[in-house]
Amino acid sequence: MITRDNINDFIDKIPPSPKILQETIRHLNNADLNKAAKIATEDPALSAFLRNLVNKPLYGFKQEVSDISQIFGILGLSGSQQSVYNYMLTLLSPKKWNLFNLNKTSFDELQAVFSIKWQHILEHLKIIDRDIQSAITLLPASIIVSEALFSKSKKDVELLRSVHDLNYNTILQRLCDTTLFDICIEISIKWDMPKVIPDIIRCASGVNPSDDKDINKLGKWMHLLLFYELSQPLFIEAGLNDFIEFNIDYVEDIYEEFLQVMGVQ
């Protein structure tokens, strides 16, 4: 079963963000899309990820977009920064998923859906902030962490879940006194992400509200978004619908508003 040593090993194996990604983000932070695109082009894998992302049906472009400068122009500063962080997470993704019924395509889809829906939420809340928009990128990281930690003990975990009806986050918390969200925060620190990102992620767990009412509000919206998307058919089939415990009391005050933003009647 999982131990703290397993968690430490996982964290230790996470490489620091590559130099090209650091430079790309630095130029995005300086609001220089042209320089950021020029640097990003030097990384073929990053370029391919960006092309695949922006040409998904979710974005609605009739003709394929391939030029990185044009892609960054379409995504804007916030969207471009968020997409680079999303790419960094793919570096952690397993080549073969064992715990969840996922693959590269479906995980990329999950990232894209979270990103676009989070942008809609921030537009609704009239929030324009690159770092806050990028906070959503760490939500899929919790799924990667689960896969990495639990897949080798899949039978034991399945037995524990069937007998005690526990989600993955609760199991980890009882075994190691830490949560999947805590580990995501450690990843954000290792990658030098702005402090607001782990602050929001901590609240998004639904069990660690913040004294900062603005951060807490964003955590509520992210908590709801997590459960809304993981309840969609594609991700139910992947085994993600019972990922962590949904705290309805935490989000009750924004629940109806959230459904309206998602277009649910």
The answer to whether the CB of 99 falls within 8 A of the CB of 146 is yes
Q: Which of 157-161, 167-171, 253-257 has the highest mean pLDDT?
A: 253-257
Q: What's the maximum distance between 2 C-alpha atoms anywhere in the chain?
A: 55
Spatial distance between the Cα atoms of 72 and 57, rounded to a whole number of angstroms:
17
Say which amino acid occupies 113.
Answer: V
Helices then strands, counting H and E runs in the chain, come out as 16, 0
Domain boundaries, the chain: 4-15+95-261
The answer to whether the CB of 92 falls within 8 A of the CB of 138 is no
Q: For 61, left (φ over 0), alpha (ψ -120 to 50), or beta?
A: beta
Spatial distance between the Cα atoms of 59 and 102, rounded to a whole number of angstroms:
22
Q: Look at residue 68 in the predicted model and tell me its pLDDT.
A: 95
**21-25, 161-165, 173-177, 203-207: range with lowest mean pLDDT:** 161-165
- Average pLDDT of every residue of the chain: 90
Sign of the Cα pseudo-torsion (99, 101, 103, 106, in order): negative
Locate tokens 């526990």: which residue?
166
Segment 15-24 mean pLDDT:
87
Spatial distance between the Cα atoms of 250 and 206, rounded to a whole number of angstroms:
6
Q: Is the pLDDT of residue 265 over 70?
A: no
Spatial distance between the Cα atoms of 107 and 116, rounded to a whole number of angstroms:
14
Segment 147-161 mean pLDDT:
87
**pLDDT tens digits, one per residue of 64-115:** 889 999 999 988 998 899 899 989 888 889 989 999 999 988 998 899 899 9
The answer to whether the CB of 141 falls within 8 A of the CB of 197 is no
Q: Look at residue 18 in the predicted model and tell me its pLDDT.
A: 84
